[in-house]
Structure 1
């Protein structure tokens, strides 16, 4: 029997349901995949994806991070993930101050309290890990840091979810996606205006007070649109990553009870478990870049002026980089290759340490709350989102 033609469609239902089968074929049969119809490329091998993530001179972020953005004439709104150096470097150094090791450590108590608060509300006989737990708590953490009042923190999560939703076959934005982006932008813009009048001890107020060099080296303040872009981006990244990672963690540990038992026996393995989850079921599947010149990676050459999918989730299961790459193993040797789950190079995730800490705290408490549990696998509902994988619904029952 001949194999069906290899087609990577980032908005196909089969891709949303199980991206890993197509990744395996792409790595083996077409490491530099070219889609004639869509006129885009995709990289799936670890060596190629890592090289492209590091080569910001050839693989530009300035046109956006998904196919619709890269193709659009007007380009994306101004935000740090859509910048190349030197502009990116100035913004990154400014925002890094919000995510220093001390700043993350200062959030530990808040994260612990929120995790305990949400777990205390659930019914052990029937609860949804994502809707009742991993959805609500991370957005509370990041929006509180940003300066969003309590009444709007959960609303931010719903705007993000809606803006990222994609129906099978839908590459561009729907009216619903656009409206969520507009509502979120208008809200954050209003909040920036408020903080200009009445500064607080929060990220928005610090961004208002900050200065960065312009193209002539003169110091300047950020404008309201820039600050709005940063805060909405941080809200999105801070909410989506941990929400999806914890939901996927509960599913994978139910499929691999021996690995859950390792954690029950030895809590010191939790950080290693977080790394393996990021490798094996990391929420961010890919980022799209645009080649501003002919680009070279170990597997070959990509022409200039093309969108390129950098498939981090495929790279993280590349057997050329990791032994038994398709096996979920929290005790694996993590020195073999770079884990690309939270990015690599200049655009690696700003809040990576915060995401790791939140996930570790969540696992610690879930081990206490449900040492034995079962997932209703028939009730699992995957998300269909632009470049994000995970679950909307993970129904669970605690076993006594």
Structure 2
């Protein structure tokens, strides 16, 4: 066969692969950004035939619909497993509520998170952070999750609630187990999460009824709720349990993942890490860029309350819609060089949500992440992630690292 023979030449064919997004696929969850980019470019309204859900991925769509509670309801759950399994949501979970009851409950919790308490957060977080890191002063490695991220947020929230430190370990471990996700699909994890999340806190709440203290749990026990008709009443024991478990779960898990992502990204970008080590005033904005680049809670599920249209297609009433705020944060239509991590970037992200469900614990998470970075950078201005030993977490509502060992 001669060199001029056309059959001797190699021919390359490009095979177009339709977009496919599966939130229960661990491989996709480990790095969803290529999939999300394909959704934004080719299927801005995506329909998953296997599970039957829809998804919006562009920033303009996600930002708009996060505030559209009339069409996209939270009252049947904001976690995809809850919606797909048609699990009955117990009352009092503010994340799973719509107006007007949501507004009344949010006003109640906003009153509990007082300026006085928030002012006490930073010194408390710093104390717990130092207690975690000081024993490692002479070590040549530590784990951003096991040695810091898993415990500093729990210590801070535990102090606010009034949970003894010797009980916090068990609560953290049980919470992690309840949130674990199976790669086989939605399963029954969501039912276990909703029915069991408050049981671990019962003894502490019961104690507060007879032994009030200066803590958030006592405030909840004594709080009065204004009903839609204007009457006021004390919270029931079940409502106190639900509120407390919501604060423990939401405030702890997302901050843990935020601290882990900060450790990873600043390892991967040593020049930016050294800039932070030289000037701590850059850290608050760096925390915002970590949140944009790697949203700890990147998928918000909603129940579609009536037929809606997107991109010439109808999404029927009763459908499940995923609002991919993690994808929106990487939308190049909104953020120039969106896939570039830049601690000097300005611009609002959607990692804490948007509208009526904007995260009540946003200020708490920001302070804890800021303090964690200051304390780590004070001791170790340089570190490198040991990816051979790092492990991803796969949970029902957040993504991030289960362990992130670094060499220092």
Task: Please state which band the TM-score falls in when normalised by the shorter chain.
Answer: over 0.9
Shift of 1:191: 2.4
State which drifts further: 113-122 or 195-204: 195-204
What is the rounded CA distance, in whole Å, between the counterparts of 1:53 and 1:184 in structure 2? Answer: 26
Aligned to 1:395: 405
Q: TM-score, normalised by structure 1?
A: 0.93
Q: TM-score, normalised by structure 2?
A: 0.92
SS in 1 for 2:388: helix
What is the rounded CA distance, in whole Å, between the counterparts of 1:22 and 1:302 in structure 2? Answer: 21
Taking the TM superposition and a 5 Å limit, the aligned residue runs for 1:274-353 are 274-295=287-308, 302-334=315-347, 338-353=348-363
Taking the TM superposition and a 5 Å limit, the aligned residue runs for 1:75-90 are 75-78=88-91, 79-90=93-104
What is the rounded CA distance, in whole Å, between the counterparts of 2:354 and 2:385 in structure 1? Answer: 33
Distance change in 2, residues 1:55/1:202 (3 Å)? same
Shift of 1:387: 2.9
Q: Which runs of 5+ in 1 are unaligned?
A: none
Deviations 1:70-110 (A, max 9, x none): 13444222211111111111111111123344421112111
What is the rounded CA distance, in whole Å, between the counterparts of 2:226 and 2:72 in structure 1? Answer: 24
1:118·1:137 contact (CA, 8 Å) conserved in 2?
yes
What is the rounded CA distance, in whole Å, between the counterparts of 1:202 and 1:296 in structure 2? Answer: 47
2:85·2:186 contact (CA, 8 Å) conserved in 1?
no
SS in 2 for 1:206: helix
Aligned to 2:179: 164
What is the rounded CA distance, in whole Å, between the counterparts of 1:270 and 1:300 in structure 2? Answer: 43
1:276·1:330 contact (CA, 8 Å) conserved in 2?
yes
- Pick from 254, 264, 274 the counterpart of residue 277 of structure 2: 264
SS in 2 for 1:325: coil
- Pick from 105, 109, 112 the counterpart of residue 126 of structure 2: 112
1:140·1:154 contact (CA, 8 Å) conserved in 2?
no
Aligned to 1:381: 391
Distance change in 2, residues 1:219/1:297 (3 Å)? farther
Shift of 1:3: 2.9
Aligned to 2:380: 370
2:225·2:233 contact (CA, 8 Å) conserved in 1?
yes
Taking the TM superposition and a 5 Å limit, the aligned residue runs for 1:244-255 are 244-255=257-268
Aligned to 2:10: none
Distance change in 2, residues 1:225/1:299 (3 Å)? farther
Deviations 1:270-291 (A, max 9, x none): 1110000000012111110101
Aligned to 1:129: 144
2:84·2:186 contact (CA, 8 Å) conserved in 1?
no
SS in 1 for 2:395: coil
State which drifts further: 38-47 or 216-225: 216-225
Larger Rg: 2
What is the rounded CA distance, in whole Å, between the counterparts of 2:77 and 2:274 in structure 1? Answer: 42
Matched, 1:25 2:38: yes
Q: Which runs of 5+ in 2 are unaligned?
A: 1-13
Distance change in 2, residues 1:298/1:370 (3 Å)? farther
- Pick from 145, 149, 154 the counterpart of residue 164 of structure 2: 149
What is the rounded CA distance, in whole Å, between the counterparts of 2:44 and 2:115 in structure 1? Answer: 37
Distance change in 2, residues 1:244/1:150 (3 Å)? same
Shift of 1:183: 5.1
1:124·1:397 contact (CA, 8 Å) conserved in 2?
no
Taking the TM superposition and a 5 Å limit, the aligned residue runs for 1:37-48 are 37-48=50-61
Matched, 1:357 2:372: no
Shift of 1:4: 2.5
Distance change in 2, residues 1:298/1:263 (3 Å)? farther
Shift of 1:214: 1.9
Shift of 1:181: 5.9
Shift of 1:152: 1.4
SS in 2 for 1:288: strand
Aligned to 2:252: 239
Aligned to 2:188: 173
What is the rounded CA distance, in whole Å, between the counterparts of 2:224 and 2:130 in structure 1? Answer: 38
What is the rounded CA distance, in whole Å, between the counterparts of 2:87 and 2:345 in structure 1? Answer: 45
SS in 2 for 1:33: strand
1:45·1:318 contact (CA, 8 Å) conserved in 2?
yes
- Report the RMSD for the aligned CA atoms in angstroms: 1.8
What is the rounded CA distance, in whole Å, between the counterparts of 1:302 and 1:366 in structure 2? Answer: 47
Distance change in 2, residues 1:211/1:300 (3 Å)? farther
State which drifts further: 239-248 or 119-128: 119-128
Q: How many residues align structurally? A: 393
